[in-house]
Every structure is written in C-alpha cells, then in structure tokens.
Amino acid sequence: MKEFWTSLISLLGVLTSLLKILQVVFPPELWFAAFKFLNRALNYFSSYCYCDITQIDGVNTNELYNAVHLYLSSFVSASASRLSLTRTINSSATTFGLSNDGYINDVFDGVAVQWEHAPGRPLPDEKRSFTLRIRKRDKDLILDSYLDYIMNKANNIRHKNQKRFIYTNSFGRLLDSRGQPWDSVPFKHPSTFDTLAMDSDMKRNIMEDLSNFTAGQAQQMGRAWKRRYLLYGLPGTGKSSTIAAMAKFLYYDIYVLELTQLRSKSELLNLLRKTSSKSIIVIEDIDCLVNLSNRSKVPQAATPQSYYESGAPDAPCGGEDGNNTTITFWELLNFPDGLWSCCGSERIFVYTTNHPEKLDPALLESSRMDMQICVS
C-alpha cells in the first residue's frame, strides 16, 4: 500500500512538471481556445442544457429573475439544506431564499429541473443570476410552459403579500384630492372563515364556490369573469363579517358602493370602471334602494323609476334629501353582464338585505344571483 501511494505521488509530480513545461511552450491564447473547445465538446455530448437568468439585463431589471426569486422562496424553506433569511424593517415575516451557490430541485408536469443561485461578484461581467438545468429533450416544454407558470405564481404571491384596502366612493364629490373616485383605508377586519359563526356545511360550500370562481371556470365558458352573491338575514347576524371572511380568503380588496352619493349613471359607470380586478364590490341594503315588491304594480310601458327619485313610490330608505338621478336599480344589477363587464376581471358583487321578503322574485333567479346565503 505504501508503494502505491509513493508511485501516485511521483506520477502527480511528473504531470505537474509536464503541465508547467506546456504552459511555457504554448501561449495563453492557445490554452483558452483548447479549454473552450473542450467545454463545447462536453456540452455537445451532455444530456443537459443550462439557462442563465440574470438580475440585470443591460440597464433594465429582469422581471423573470424577480419572479423566479419569489417562486423559489415559496417552497425553498421546506426542501433546501442551506437557506438565506431576510426580514425587512417593521415586518414580522421572514423571507427564505437560496444561499449563494445553493441549489434546489423542482418538478413541473413530471419533468425534473434544478435551480442554482449564483451570487454577483465585484467584477464587471459577473451578475447575480439563477441557472436552470434541464434535460435537452425537455427544453421546449420548460421554456414554453414552465416559465409562464412561474410568472403566474409570482404574480399571485405578490398579490397575497400586498396590503388589503377597503374603499368607498368619495363623499359629496366625484373625485378625491388625488383625482380618484374612491377613498381607501387599510382593511384590518379580524373575521375569517375559521372564526365565522356559521354552519360548517355552509362555510364549506362558500369556500368551494369561491375557489372554483378563482380557478376561472366561468371565464373558460366565454362569459364575464364575475360572481354575484346575496347575503340576507337580520341585522347583526354577521353579513359584514361574512364579506370580510370572503375577502381574506381570496386576498381581495373591498369596494363599498354608497349609491346615495351618486347623481347620474355616468358617475356609477366611472366608479365601477375604476374598481380593480380581484375585488369584492358590496351594495348594502338593496331592499332600501328600491321597493322591488311593488315592481309588478307598475305598468310595463311606464318608464322605470330611479332608485333615488324624490316623490317616487319606489324611493329609497333615507332618501329625503330630494336629489334626482337617472340610475335605476336594474341598471346597477345588469352592469356585470353588459358591455362594461369587460372593464376588469375576477370581480365579485355582494348584495345584502335585512328583508329578503321585500325583494322581487325575479331578483332571486339564478341568472341574477349565483348564490344566496342566509346569515342567521
């Protein structure tokens, strides 16, 4: 055994001496060309290919790099053996990431891939980047679908990490000081489906319906991507808490539409057009907006009364200030189905009432309300 190690050391010494002689005989350019040729030969016969995603592309930030960072951070803590931990000021959340030169495996559609994080070094040509290693036979699938999947997942993560707000239309004016028709405050309602006092089967049905809605099933059928719910029950039974739980479950903002502040149909359209996608639009106490139970008493040829018209038999509750408007409740109800429904997507309309018996049966049809929820 001793003779073997002695021979091995001698052989290494001879190779080292030979390498030094070759470095003196051959110029550096030739060595560089030889190594480059060897690297290309190895890559040609290798079954893998590598894709580099740098943080900076010229002078612009590479959005794909940020998306990959968010995507890997969502599950890296459970699978990587070496992590990079960060926490921003005034935040209680810890962000996980790949450490320098760390790597992690992922599977997409049955295809295994590997991500490696390369740190940026203080050299002009070296930047922070992710390297994706994939098999050459899977290249088309990964580059066409996997990267799009990562971008969508990153957008969802950003949406969940954003602060939630509750909006109401600006009181007494069309636009606020910033030129926006909505006033907002941070949404910090404590209610969730876990704390909501409701029948467990009803809660499960609501959450399943919301999950199916966010999956885009209605959009795939070629219809406007919206959903309408009717919450009814006595005052104080939890209608507002149910709306808050829905918003927290979906990570949606809430828009409370104060119809008594509107004076024309154009104001209503402007408000609804300025609501963001992934939001819940709340219209409270619809039984006070118009007396739908008397709708059948109005002649069919008559012009429909507005929901806020002084002296009209269908005047709303608390509408004694006498302002006139051209908006009808049925125009409000039909807005999600009209041409304006294309202005925004993934929006939920929630109507509440304390007296469902006052509503016109036509309002309760499945074509008008997708789901009716009794809160008791």
| Domains of the chain listed by start with CATH number | 47-161 (no CATH), 165-374 (3.40.50.300)
pLDDT over 70 at 253, yes or no = yes
Tokens at 70, concatenated? 């968010």
- At 18 the pLDDT is 79
Residue 183 · residue 168 · CB < 8 Å: yes
Side chain identity at residue 127, one-letter code? K
The pLDDT of 24-39, averaged and rounded, is 71
Dist. CA 103–CA 112, nearest whole Å: 13
Asked if 345 contacts 168 with a C-beta cutoff of 8 angstroms, the reply is no
pLDDT, residue 197, reads: 86
The Cα 68–Cα 32 span in angstroms is 33
Find the range with the poorest average confidence among 47-51, 84-88, 307-311, 360-364. Answer: 307-311
**Enclosing H/E stretch for 21:** helix 2-25
Rounded-to-integer distance, Cα 244 and Cα 166, Å: 10
Share above pLDDT 70 across residues of the chain, in percent, rounded to a whole number:
69
Whether pLDDT at 281 is above 50: yes
Residue 180 has pLDDT above 80, yes or no: no
The strand pairing partners of 283, in sequence order, are 351
* Global pTM value: 0.65
316: CB partners within 8 A, 6+ apart: 259, 260, 288, 289, 290, 307, 308
Q: What is the dihedral of CA 201, 203, 207, 213, to 10 degrees?
A: 90
Mean pLDDT over residues 81-98, rounded?
67
pLDDT band at 310 (very low <50, low <70, confident <90, very high): very low
CB 355 within 8 A of CB 231: no
Cβ 289 vs Cβ 357: under 8 Å: no
